[in-house]
Amino acid sequence: MENLDNSAQNKASGLEKAIQTNFQKEMSYGDYLHLDKILSSQQRLSNHHDEMLFIIIHQTSELWMKLILHELHAAIQSILRNDLEPSFKMLSRVSRIQQQLIQSWNVLTTLTPADYMQFRHKLGHSSGFQSFQNRQIEFALGQKNAHTLAVYKHQDDLFESLTKSLHEPSIYDAALSALATHGLPVDEKVLNRDWSQSYEPNLSVEEAWLTVYRNTEKYWDLYELAEKLVDIGNQQQLWRFNHMSTVERIIGNKQGTGGSSGVNYLKRVLDHHFFPELLSLRTKL
Protein backbone atom coordinates (compact mmCIF):
# COMPACT_ATOMS: atom_id res chain seq x y z
CA MET A 1 0.00 0.00 0.00
CA GLU A 2 2.84 2.38 0.83
CA ASN A 3 4.31 2.04 -2.67
CA LEU A 4 0.84 2.51 -4.21
CA ASP A 5 0.25 5.55 -2.06
CA ASN A 6 3.66 6.92 -3.02
CA SER A 7 2.92 6.38 -6.73
CA ALA A 8 -0.53 7.93 -6.48
CA GLN A 9 0.80 10.96 -4.63
CA ASN A 10 3.55 11.45 -7.20
CA LYS A 11 1.09 11.24 -10.07
CA ALA A 12 -1.13 13.84 -8.46
CA SER A 13 1.78 16.19 -7.79
CA GLY A 14 3.45 15.78 -11.16
CA LEU A 15 6.53 14.01 -9.74
CA GLU A 16 8.11 11.08 -11.55
CA LYS A 17 6.51 7.80 -10.55
CA ALA A 18 9.63 6.24 -8.98
CA ILE A 19 10.55 9.22 -6.76
CA GLN A 20 10.36 8.17 -3.10
CA THR A 21 8.28 10.43 -0.86
CA ASN A 22 7.47 8.20 2.11
CA PHE A 23 10.35 8.15 4.62
CA GLN A 24 8.60 6.93 7.74
CA LYS A 25 10.63 3.70 7.58
CA GLU A 26 13.40 4.78 5.22
CA MET A 27 16.58 6.79 5.63
CA SER A 28 16.29 10.23 4.04
CA TYR A 29 18.97 12.62 2.73
CA GLY A 30 18.78 14.65 5.95
CA ASP A 31 19.04 11.52 8.08
CA TYR A 32 22.15 10.30 6.25
CA LEU A 33 23.94 13.65 6.56
CA HIS A 34 22.71 14.39 10.11
CA LEU A 35 21.53 17.77 8.88
CA ASP A 36 19.59 18.34 12.08
CA LYS A 37 22.92 18.52 13.94
CA ILE A 38 24.87 20.38 11.28
CA LEU A 39 22.27 23.07 10.59
CA SER A 40 21.54 23.69 14.25
CA SER A 41 25.22 24.34 15.05
CA GLN A 42 25.27 27.98 13.96
CA GLN A 43 24.69 29.71 17.28
CA ARG A 44 25.29 33.44 17.06
CA LEU A 45 26.50 35.16 20.22
CA SER A 46 25.25 38.53 19.00
CA ASN A 47 22.25 39.75 17.06
CA HIS A 48 24.40 41.00 14.22
CA HIS A 49 23.43 39.70 10.78
CA ASP A 50 27.02 39.07 9.58
CA GLU A 51 27.99 36.82 12.45
CA MET A 52 26.22 33.99 10.61
CA LEU A 53 28.65 34.44 7.70
CA PHE A 54 31.61 34.37 10.08
CA ILE A 55 30.46 31.14 11.75
CA ILE A 56 29.58 29.28 8.55
CA ILE A 57 32.84 30.19 6.79
CA HIS A 58 34.84 28.73 9.67
CA GLN A 59 32.64 25.67 10.17
CA THR A 60 32.72 24.72 6.49
CA SER A 61 36.48 25.29 6.45
CA GLU A 62 36.84 22.79 9.28
CA LEU A 63 34.81 20.24 7.31
CA TRP A 64 37.07 20.68 4.29
CA MET A 65 40.10 20.36 6.58
CA LYS A 66 38.72 17.08 7.89
CA LEU A 67 38.64 15.76 4.33
CA ILE A 68 42.18 17.04 3.66
CA LEU A 69 43.43 15.08 6.66
CA HIS A 70 41.49 12.00 5.56
CA GLU A 71 43.23 12.15 2.17
CA LEU A 72 46.68 13.08 3.46
CA HIS A 73 46.81 10.28 6.02
CA ALA A 74 45.77 7.73 3.40
CA ALA A 75 48.32 9.10 0.93
CA ILE A 76 51.11 8.88 3.50
CA GLN A 77 50.33 5.23 4.18
CA SER A 78 50.16 4.47 0.46
CA ILE A 79 53.56 6.07 -0.18
CA LEU A 80 55.15 4.32 2.79
CA ARG A 81 53.97 1.01 1.26
CA ASN A 82 55.73 2.08 -1.96
CA ASP A 83 52.33 2.07 -3.67
CA LEU A 84 52.57 5.53 -5.17
CA GLU A 85 49.84 5.61 -7.80
CA PRO A 86 46.81 5.57 -5.43
CA SER A 87 48.29 8.55 -3.59
CA PHE A 88 48.16 10.70 -6.75
CA LYS A 89 44.36 10.79 -6.74
CA MET A 90 44.31 11.58 -3.02
CA LEU A 91 46.82 14.40 -3.39
CA SER A 92 44.99 15.84 -6.41
CA ARG A 93 41.86 15.90 -4.28
CA VAL A 94 43.72 17.72 -1.50
CA SER A 95 44.79 20.39 -3.98
CA ARG A 96 41.19 20.88 -5.17
CA ILE A 97 39.96 21.14 -1.59
CA GLN A 98 42.60 23.76 -0.90
CA GLN A 99 41.19 25.78 -3.80
CA GLN A 100 37.80 25.70 -2.09
CA LEU A 101 39.37 26.96 1.12
CA ILE A 102 41.19 29.73 -0.73
CA GLN A 103 37.92 30.89 -2.32
CA SER A 104 36.23 30.97 1.07
CA TRP A 105 38.39 33.95 2.06
CA ASN A 106 36.88 35.86 -0.87
CA VAL A 107 33.43 35.32 0.64
CA LEU A 108 34.65 36.49 4.04
CA THR A 109 35.96 39.74 2.53
CA THR A 110 32.33 40.84 2.24
CA LEU A 111 32.49 41.29 6.02
CA THR A 112 33.36 44.96 6.54
CA PRO A 113 35.48 46.23 9.47
CA ALA A 114 32.54 48.21 10.86
CA ASP A 115 30.30 45.15 10.88
CA TYR A 116 32.93 42.81 12.36
CA MET A 117 33.54 45.20 15.24
CA GLN A 118 29.88 44.79 16.20
CA PHE A 119 30.45 41.18 17.31
CA ARG A 120 34.23 40.62 17.50
CA HIS A 121 34.20 41.11 21.28
CA LYS A 122 31.87 38.10 21.57
CA LEU A 123 34.67 35.78 20.39
CA GLY A 124 36.65 36.23 23.62
CA HIS A 125 40.09 34.63 23.10
CA SER A 126 38.87 32.09 20.55
CA SER A 127 40.90 32.26 17.35
CA GLY A 128 41.62 30.38 14.15
CA PHE A 129 45.12 29.89 15.56
CA GLN A 130 43.53 27.27 17.82
CA SER A 131 42.21 25.18 14.92
CA PHE A 132 43.58 21.74 15.76
CA GLN A 133 42.83 20.43 12.28
CA ASN A 134 44.83 23.21 10.67
CA ARG A 135 47.64 22.30 13.05
CA GLN A 136 47.39 18.64 12.03
CA ILE A 137 47.54 19.63 8.37
CA GLU A 138 50.73 21.59 9.01
CA PHE A 139 52.18 18.59 10.83
CA ALA A 140 51.20 16.29 7.95
CA LEU A 141 52.93 18.67 5.51
CA GLY A 142 56.11 18.70 7.60
CA GLN A 143 55.87 21.92 9.62
CA LYS A 144 56.25 20.65 13.17
CA ASN A 145 56.31 22.85 16.27
CA ALA A 146 55.81 21.26 19.68
CA HIS A 147 55.26 24.67 21.31
CA THR A 148 51.94 25.10 19.48
CA LEU A 149 50.49 22.20 21.49
CA ALA A 150 50.29 24.36 24.60
CA VAL A 151 46.93 25.82 23.54
CA TYR A 152 45.35 22.33 23.60
CA LYS A 153 46.41 21.25 27.09
CA HIS A 154 42.93 21.87 28.46
CA GLN A 155 41.60 18.98 26.33
CA ASP A 156 43.39 15.74 27.18
CA ASP A 157 42.15 13.70 24.21
CA LEU A 158 42.94 16.44 21.74
CA PHE A 159 46.37 17.09 23.23
CA GLU A 160 47.18 13.38 23.03
CA SER A 161 46.01 13.17 19.41
CA LEU A 162 48.09 16.18 18.37
CA THR A 163 51.14 14.88 20.21
CA LYS A 164 50.76 11.64 18.27
CA SER A 165 50.51 13.59 15.01
CA LEU A 166 53.62 15.55 15.93
CA HIS A 167 55.67 12.34 16.12
CA GLU A 168 54.35 10.78 12.92
CA PRO A 169 56.05 11.04 9.51
CA SER A 170 54.83 13.82 7.25
CA ILE A 171 53.91 13.40 3.60
CA TYR A 172 57.40 14.66 2.75
CA ASP A 173 59.04 12.12 5.06
CA ALA A 174 57.09 9.44 3.21
CA ALA A 175 58.24 10.86 -0.14
CA LEU A 176 61.90 10.83 0.98
CA SER A 177 61.48 7.22 2.02
CA ALA A 178 60.21 6.51 -1.50
CA LEU A 179 63.34 8.11 -2.95
CA ALA A 180 65.50 5.73 -0.94
CA THR A 181 63.30 2.74 -1.83
CA HIS A 182 63.89 3.53 -5.51
CA GLY A 183 67.65 3.39 -4.96
CA LEU A 184 68.39 7.11 -4.79
CA PRO A 185 71.00 8.08 -2.17
CA VAL A 186 69.48 9.99 0.73
CA ASP A 187 71.35 10.68 3.98
CA GLU A 188 70.47 8.29 6.79
CA LYS A 189 70.11 11.24 9.14
CA VAL A 190 67.21 12.40 6.96
CA LEU A 191 65.55 9.02 6.74
CA ASN A 192 65.90 8.35 10.46
CA ARG A 193 65.34 11.85 11.75
CA ASP A 194 63.17 12.90 14.67
CA TRP A 195 59.76 13.36 13.01
CA SER A 196 58.62 15.71 15.75
CA GLN A 197 61.03 18.34 14.40
CA SER A 198 60.29 20.60 11.47
CA TYR A 199 62.05 19.44 8.31
CA GLU A 200 65.31 21.15 7.33
CA PRO A 201 66.72 21.16 3.76
CA ASN A 202 69.37 18.57 2.92
CA LEU A 203 71.78 18.50 -0.04
CA SER A 204 71.42 14.75 -0.62
CA VAL A 205 67.65 15.19 -0.93
CA GLU A 206 68.04 17.98 -3.46
CA GLU A 207 70.45 15.83 -5.50
CA ALA A 208 68.03 12.90 -5.39
CA TRP A 209 65.14 15.04 -6.63
CA LEU A 210 67.40 16.51 -9.32
CA THR A 211 68.08 12.97 -10.54
CA VAL A 212 64.34 12.37 -10.73
CA TYR A 213 63.68 15.56 -12.67
CA ARG A 214 66.55 14.87 -15.07
CA ASN A 215 65.32 11.32 -15.70
CA THR A 216 61.55 11.66 -15.65
CA GLU A 217 60.87 8.58 -17.79
CA LYS A 218 62.89 6.35 -15.46
CA TYR A 219 61.42 7.85 -12.28
CA TRP A 220 57.97 8.85 -13.56
CA ASP A 221 56.11 7.89 -10.37
CA LEU A 222 58.51 9.87 -8.20
CA TYR A 223 58.29 12.81 -10.61
CA GLU A 224 54.50 12.68 -10.49
CA LEU A 225 54.59 12.53 -6.69
CA ALA A 226 56.93 15.52 -6.54
CA GLU A 227 54.67 17.65 -8.71
CA LYS A 228 51.63 16.70 -6.62
CA LEU A 229 53.49 17.88 -3.54
CA VAL A 230 54.48 21.14 -5.24
CA ASP A 231 50.80 21.73 -6.06
CA ILE A 232 49.81 21.22 -2.42
CA GLY A 233 52.63 23.37 -1.07
CA ASN A 234 51.75 26.17 -3.46
CA GLN A 235 48.04 26.01 -2.61
CA GLN A 236 48.84 26.08 1.11
CA GLN A 237 50.89 29.24 0.61
CA LEU A 238 48.06 30.83 -1.37
CA TRP A 239 45.64 29.93 1.44
CA ARG A 240 47.98 31.54 3.96
CA PHE A 241 48.35 34.67 1.83
CA ASN A 242 44.59 35.04 1.36
CA HIS A 243 44.14 34.51 5.09
CA MET A 244 46.64 37.25 5.86
CA SER A 245 45.21 39.72 3.32
CA THR A 246 41.63 39.09 4.49
CA VAL A 247 42.58 39.68 8.12
CA GLU A 248 44.46 42.85 7.13
CA ARG A 249 41.44 44.07 5.19
CA ILE A 250 39.07 43.53 8.12
CA ILE A 251 41.07 44.36 11.27
CA GLY A 252 44.22 46.07 9.99
CA ASN A 253 47.12 45.58 12.40
CA LYS A 254 45.04 44.88 15.50
CA GLN A 255 46.12 42.07 17.81
CA GLY A 256 44.43 38.75 17.11
CA THR A 257 41.66 37.56 19.44
CA GLY A 258 43.90 34.66 20.46
CA GLY A 259 46.72 37.01 21.48
CA SER A 260 48.92 36.83 18.38
CA SER A 261 50.20 39.96 16.63
CA GLY A 262 47.59 39.33 13.94
CA VAL A 263 48.68 40.31 10.44
CA ASN A 264 52.35 40.55 11.43
CA TYR A 265 52.26 36.95 12.66
CA LEU A 266 50.51 35.77 9.49
CA LYS A 267 53.15 37.54 7.36
CA ARG A 268 55.95 35.73 9.20
CA VAL A 269 54.23 32.39 8.60
CA LEU A 270 54.44 33.08 4.86
CA ASP A 271 58.24 32.91 5.09
CA HIS A 272 58.03 29.15 5.66
CA HIS A 273 57.96 26.98 2.53
CA PHE A 274 56.93 23.34 2.35
CA PHE A 275 59.10 20.73 0.59
CA PRO A 276 62.11 23.08 0.16
CA GLU A 277 64.22 20.93 -2.19
CA LEU A 278 61.34 20.69 -4.66
CA LEU A 279 61.60 24.46 -5.00
CA SER A 280 65.38 24.88 -4.86
CA LEU A 281 66.03 22.24 -7.54
CA ARG A 282 64.27 24.43 -10.10
CA THR A 283 67.17 26.86 -10.00
CA LYS A 284 69.67 24.09 -10.72
CA LEU A 285 67.81 22.27 -13.48
| 13 has pLDDT over 90 | no
Is 56 a known ligand-binding residue? Answer: yes
Is 132 a known ligand-binding residue? Answer: no
Q: pLDDT-derived band of residue 1, with 50, 70 and 90 as boundaries? A: very low
Q: Per-residue pLDDT averaged across 259-282, rounded?
A: 92
Is 54 a known ligand-binding residue? Answer: yes
Is 102 a known ligand-binding residue? Answer: no
Q: pLDDT-derived band of residue 56, with 50, 70 and 90 as boundaries? A: very high
Is 55 a known ligand-binding residue? Answer: yes
Q: pLDDT-derived band of residue 5, with 50, 70 and 90 as boundaries? A: low
| 86 has pLDDT over 70 | yes
Is 97 a known ligand-binding residue? Answer: no
What is the average pLDDT value for the chain, to the nearest integer?
94
Is 257 a known ligand-binding residue? Answer: yes
The number of angstroms, rounded, from the C-alpha of 185 to the middle of its chain's C-alpha atoms is: 31
| 4 has pLDDT over 60 | no
| 127 has pLDDT over 60 | yes
Output the CA–CA distances (angstroms, integers) from residue 257 to 64, 128, 130, 221, 229, in the order listed: 23, 9, 11, 44, 32
Is 68 a known ligand-binding residue? Answer: no
Ranges of H-type helices in the chain: 2-13, 29-33, 35-38, 51-80, 84-108, 113-116, 132-140, 156-166, 171-181, 188-191, 203-214, 220-251, 263-269, 276-284
Q: What is the pLDDT of residue 45?
A: 97
Q: Please check whether residue 59 is in contact with residue 41, taking contact to mean a CB–CB distance below 8 angstroms.
A: yes
Q: Per-residue pLDDT averaged across 25-29, rounded?
A: 94
